[in-house]
Structure 1
Amino acid sequence: MSSHVVNSAWKVIPMFESRSISQTVDFYTKTLGFELASVKPEHGKSEQYFCSIFIGKKAEANFYFSKVSAESFKSSHAYIALGTSELDDFHVYLKRTPGVEFDKEIEDTPWGFRQFTIKDIDGNLLTFFKFLEGGNPGEE
């Protein structure tokens, strides 16, 4: 029974914290080029407390953000796999984009990744990577 349940998993959605959902949406959509899936509440009815953003076909890289106070905020870290040529292209794009803070520059790692890490406006870390060997799903 447990192998059937485990084998049915089809997606992981990390949950990050945000001090301002509207600023998070702006950074991820306008600066990084992610897509907005939803915001709660919608249409400015009151202060926003949740958003969902994504990149990739079928929202394969999807992130949820919940609003927290500055005092209770804790940063998170996620890895996002990109296609073979797209990783370097995205790195070049982000290096030229105002408002993007790099935590670690692009490098080839001993564990077989080519990767770089940026910080979002709250200090959450996003590591974009590709495999050095064996090909990369997602490439065109």
Structure 2
Amino acid sequence: MSFIGQPVPELPVADVERAQQHYRDALGFEIGWLYPDKGIGAVSRDKVTIFFRKRDSPFEPAVHWVFAEDIDVSYQELQSSGANIVEPLEKKPWGLRQFTVKDLDGNIFYFHHD
């Protein structure tokens, strides 16, 4: 069977450059590339790549579940870097320890650990 790589999410954003800078500054990503018309670009961190595509408002924000190997370290890192944590780290009734981050365009990331 052939190898299939990890999917790359494409998030809707109002401003691709602003999104790239936010993900760099608040979430620890590196800016990858930006298409000349500034309509699409990318960031990456570790083995994760995210594409951003300029969309006109209103658009439906994307939702992602992100496994964090060490949820406490991830929470502290994102908290200290100024990420918009909209739900604090806590054990949920469904058994996961998780916290929620929302980006500048309303896209949601549920960081979790079993």
Shared fold per TM-score greater than 0.5: yes
Give SS of 1:93's match: helix
- Segments of structure 2 that go 5 or more residues without pairing to the other structure are none
Aligned counterpart, 1:97: 81
TM-score, normalised relative to structure 2: 0.85
Structure 1 distance, partners of 2:81, 2:89, is 16
Aligned length: 114
Give SS of 1:107's match: strand
The alignment yields a C-alpha RMSD, in angstroms, of 1.9
CA contact (8 A) 2:25 2:81 kept: no
Aligned counterpart, 2:40: 50
Larger gyration radius, structure 1 or structure 2? 1
Aligned counterpart, 1:69: 56
Deviations 1:65-86 (A, max 9, x none): 1001124x221111222223xx
**Alignment partner for residue 30 of structure 1, among 19, 22, 25?**
25
Amino acid at match of 1:18: V
- Segments of structure 1 that go 5 or more residues without pairing to the other structure are 42-46, 132-140
Structure 1 stretches of 4+ moved >6 Å = none
**Alignment partner for residue 107 of structure 1, among 79, 90, 97?**
90
Question: How many percent identity over aligned positions?
Answer: 23
TM-score, normalised relative to structure 1: 0.71
**Alignment partner for residue 124 of structure 1, among 107, 110, 113?**
107
